[in-house]
């Protein structure tokens, strides 16, 4: 949810698609970047 908020997406409708890229962090965990409504 916080990644969506950082991307300026405050609300999703039921079934609404989101596109994103995955980025590996220094700690080895992946996070979503470049989020956009599809």
- Segments making up each domain of the chain, as ranges: 2-37
Q: What is the pLDDT of residues 1-38, one digit of tens each?
A: 789 999 999 999 999 999 999 999 999 999 999 999 99
Report the SS3 class of residue 3: helix
pLDDT score recorded for residue 24: 97
pLDDT score recorded for residue 19: 97
pLDDT score recorded for residue 1: 72
Q: Characterize 3-37 residue by residue with b for buried, 16 or more Cβ atoms within 10 angstroms of its Cβ, and e for exposed.
A: ebeebeeeeeeeeeeeeeeeeeeeeeeeebeebee
pTM of the model: 0.71
């Amino acid at each position: 949810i916080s990644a969506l908020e950082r991307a300026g997406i405050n609300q999703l409708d039921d079934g609404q698609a989101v596109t994103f890229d995955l980025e590996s962090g220094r700690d080895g965990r992946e996070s979503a970047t470049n989020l956009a409504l599809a």
